[in-house]
Amino acid sequence: MEGVQSIKQRFELIGNDVKLNRALEKAIQVAPTDISVLVTGESGVGKEAIPKIIHSLSHRKHAKYIAVNCGAIPEGTIDSELFGHEKGAFTGATQTRSGYFEVADGGTIFLDEVGELPLTTQVRLLRVLENGEFLKVGSSQVQKTDVRIVAATNINMFEAIKKEKFREDLYYRLSTVEIHIPPLRERREDIHLLFRKFASDFGQKYKMPTIRLDEPAIQILQKYRWPGNIRQLRNIAEQISVLEENRIVTAATLHGYLPNAGNTNLPAVVEQSKKEGDFSNEREILYKVLFDMKGDLHDLKKLTLELLKNNDSEKVQEENQTLIQKIYGDKEEEVAQQEDNVAEILHLPEPVAEPTTTVVQTQEDRYHFAEEIEEEETLSLQEKEIELIKKSLERNRGKRKAAASELGISERTLYRKIKQYDL
């Protein structure tokens, strides 16, 4: 059995990362068997090297090796590509065609991006994995095949299973052994080695001196997150090799080739839409409660003032006033509490207390107040509120405590209304 270093040299793999070495060790160990393998890892990490290693070290190495990109084949033709079809099976099927599983009999099939397979194709694939049987499209004759399947994916398979985009039974059948390839950002010490290898290859390819990085540029190279992994690193090495006349690459030059290089050390952005939505919903509920209470208070004011106006007896008026003020006051406390909650959420400033002034309200003032409310019934609730506050402030010569007492609201609430309506 070949060792890890020998495999690296044979397949031109660069890097000494522990996780990478472990992935290669697992590939070497599983190669002589016929069990299925699932290779996982982000896009661009080099997953395609693992099935080649497995095939080359297996007893199938002299048979065919076919790599299939499942995400690149249209859904309507993928069954035909994998399993073949009979003549006349569908429009355009002018002759019988053998699929990859028939052609690769005795060899290995690499299904890249297996997570993109349609559910109907997944059922067919599961049958091949379980007993080696398949049907051509448009045929009822069962055919047998003996293939080794190595699959690869860059998606979270458990999420795909949860969303019912991938069959759970197929996942466990494919992942008898799972080999994970680490992303480039977890292989910091390997980044410069890979860059030097790519730079050397492109120098020979384009017949020009090999580019080199100065020390600050090496630091930037290693700190960058490399979302495109090895594929992105290779592309940038090629760009710099072709475009830069100066073969010593500085940090400033390298910055120009790295997208969002200034944000390489920032934490990943976490979606906040849910939290913002929760805050918005809570605020809307509080506003609705406030507006409902405001309507209740308006009706209560009208009832209070009508009772005061329609009762001639001062004793009855006093009793009504005392009773309604008690009910009204309790209601006002609820409104004040809800407004405090909204203020806390929205970070509103606390009101400034005004000097205490005692003002005696006459019966004539209360009648006058009731008449004004009746005259303004056609106005909107907000317009009524503004007009009432203005008139009360005018009658009480700007004394907020007296105006608040007259309006039957707390001084704090009056202060907020003055600020809200810029009175």
Q: Which domains does the chain have, with CATH numbers?
A: 4-182 (3.40.50.300), 185-263 (1.10.8.60), 285-420 (no CATH)
pLDDT at residue 324 greater than cutoff 90? no
CA-derived radius of gyration, the chain: 39
* Percent share of the chain, pLDDT over 90: 57
What is the rounded average pLDDT of the residues 179-183?
Answer: 96
The count of other CB atoms within 10 Å of the CB of residue 103 is 14
Q: What tokens were used for 308?
A: 């005061």
Written as one letter, the residue type at 116 is E
Q: Which residues of 110-143 are buried (b: 16+ CB within 10 A; e: fewer)?
A: bbbbbbbbbeebbebbeebbeeeebbbbbbeeeb
Q: Which residues pair with 178 in a beta bridge?
A: 38
Q: Of 57-61, 94-98, 106-110, 293-297, which range is least confident? A: 293-297
Rounded alpha-carbon distances, angstroms, from residue 155 to 178, 225, 292: 14, 19, 49
Q: What tokens were used for 364?
A: 């004539």
Contact partners, residue 153, CB within 8 Å, separation at least 6: 38, 39, 40, 113, 114, 115
The pLDDT of residue 416 is: 80
How confident is the model over 12-44, as pLDDT tens digits? 999 999 999 999 999 999 999 999 999 999 999
Q: Please tell me the pTM assigned to this model.
A: 0.61
How confident is the model over 107-134, as pLDDT tens digits? 999 999 999 999 999 999 999 999 999 9
The pLDDT of residue 319 is: 60
Largest CA distance in the chain: 114
Q: Identify the band that residue 345 occupies on the pLDDT scale cut at 50, 70 and 90.
A: very low
Q: Identify the band that residue 385 occupies on the pLDDT scale cut at 50, 70 and 90.
A: confident
Matching residue, tokens 């009822």: 140
Pairing of strands 148-153, 142-144: unpaired
**Who wins on pLDDT, 284 or 188?**
188
Distance CA 125, CA 82 (A): 9
The pLDDT of residue 180 is: 97
